Amino acid sequence: MIEGAGPVAAFWGLSALTLLAAGGVVVSRNLFHAVLFLIVVFLGIAGFFLLLSADFLAMAQVIIYVGAIAVLILFAIVLTPRASRDNAETRMAPVALVAGVAVAGLLIPAILDAEWRTLSSAPALPVSDLGRELLGVWVLPFQLASVLLTAALVGAVVLVRSPREEREEIDEEERR
């Protein structure tokens, strides 16, 4: 872990940003905006990994959660009908608030009473060796998986488009 005033300020800044974005996810009435707030939360978590000198985990966080999961959620939102996309009011909000306060009441004392230990030595597998393996021996499976996922995404877009949406897009292009 990095010591000094800079990392402490970065920690508190990331904490505020991540918590505000998490609150934005919860209170946003627009599902698209909620996912954008979620992306900020994922980036904030990646920042925490960087502060802990866990560079590989930070990049994995960005690639997997921001680059894959959040984009997948965005595509799902964009491809759903607009009427079912908005977050409607719910009767479960008071129950969720009570449950959240109860979970926080259980977790905060546990976090404060825990004995947090840190490693004094470097990890057994350096990140550079892991990177060489992923980009050496395992590069072909990763490339094949990315092509397969891209093809599946394009196929999903083609399958969910209605004939009316296609006609509207053609009419819009003709007007240009």
pTM listed for this prediction: 0.60
Q: Could you tell me the residue ranges of all domains in the chain?
A: 1-88, 126-176
All residues at 6 or more sequence positions from 75 whose CB lies less than 8 Å from its CB, including other chains? 153, 156, 157
| Alpha helices (H) along the chain | 5-27, 31-51, 55-60, 71-79, 93-113, 127-135, 139-160, 163-175
Topology of domain 1-88 in CATH is: Four Helix Bundle (Hemerythrin (Met), subunit A) (1.20.120)
If one compares 120 and 13, the residue with the highest pLDDT of the two is 13
The string of pLDDT tens digits covering residues 113-131 is 988 877 777 667 777 887 7
Question: pLDDT per residue over 26-83, tens digit each?
Answer: 888 777 888 889 999 999 999 999 998 888 888 888 888 888 888 878 777 777 766 5
